[in-house]
A and B are shown apart, each in its own frame.
Chain A
Amino acid sequence: MAQEVKTKATFPSVEWFDALKEIINDDEAYKRHGTCDASVGIKVPEAGKYFVITFEAFGVEGVKETDEAAAENTDFWMEQSYDQWQEMIKNIADNGKADLGHTLNTLDVEYPDGLARSNDGYRRDLFYRFNQSFQHFFDATAQIDTRFA
């Protein structure tokens, strides 16, 4: 189930997440999941890259590169190694969406500390409450010709 590739960008970078933001904000299917309000940190520790994505209502409000502390000062952050991020994104590109072994839910239970982490159990639950939206968000990376830094 290949998706149309709309742009090229390098992971991890603000440009890559911005490209994803543009795709999502034009995607009617994403809106059909319902509103999603969450500030989500993205951590790629080996690369020393940290981002905060702000999901609001029916779209993505903003993406910014930040430091580790700011990435953790969110509702929850998603953290995995650079290789694991790469594997997930390649899997999505190959299949058009994450296969059963690479969904956010699967990765979350496979990692002893979870993919989604937080300092607050209630705020971490936003990962589960809006899970279809977040999965849709990352599945849309199939529309980016991703280069890896």
Chain B
Amino acid sequence: MTDFAISQSMPARQSSPVLRALRRNRFAWIGIGLLALIVLVAIFAPVIAPYDPLKQNILHRLSPPSSDFWFGTDSYGRDVLSRLLYGARISLSIGFLSVLIAMVVGSALGILAGYIGGVFDQIVMGIVDVMLSFPTLLLGLMVAAMLGASFENLIIAIAITETAPFARVARAPTIAMKRRDFVEAGRSLGYTPLHIMRVHILPNILSDIVVVASLWMASAIRTEASLAFIGLGVLPPTATWGGMIREGFDNILSAWWLVVFPSLAILLTVLALNILGDALRDAIDPKTRSQG
């Protein structure tokens, strides 16, 4: 009965108009399609890849794209296409896991800061402001350089750079929600603050957080590639897109395929995520929704 009373005063979930707006947005479908393709490629890399991504073949060093090697081979004679397909796994998993950590930690901090307020809020947001004053790439570079480059450390480094924006995004609507009737009602019914934050506030700000997540995943993949290009990526011989560009850069004058294909892979992945993030934002923002 009490639950019913509260759900009555809760704002209607926005999912249906959002989904409708998303369905109408042709642009969004390009992003979703592209992303689905990349994810499938990453999952099925061992099945699709024509060669072993680590297998060296001195006889076929630096051969240009051909019917045997569609995207050519690198200076160790490794197949660029196969390395590209396996590289998708690294980029996507580092991007996804780092954003997941940043999202959980950042939104929890933001919601707590917004709900508790006062000195706690000021301290948390002060730290958030400082984190935002470090350029993302430099902060990631610093953390990766200090921890040492490895798969796990890269996830931590990128997660650290992206926690602050989530805290920002989660805090503002929490403060607005805190004053709404249904939260007030929950409080007077004796629900614990944790319960209110989890059941009454989180679901209502989740859409904002998800939009930010898809945009920041694009940024995470960009940062991972940039760090790998600088030499702070997952260690060779593991194939990563940024690392492939780094290795190919030495031969840029003679072997364009070594840099062009991984470059396009990074660009397409980031673009797909940005398109999706934009479409989600438009769908959620009622100001732009009707115009599509």
Q: Do A and B bind each other?
A: no
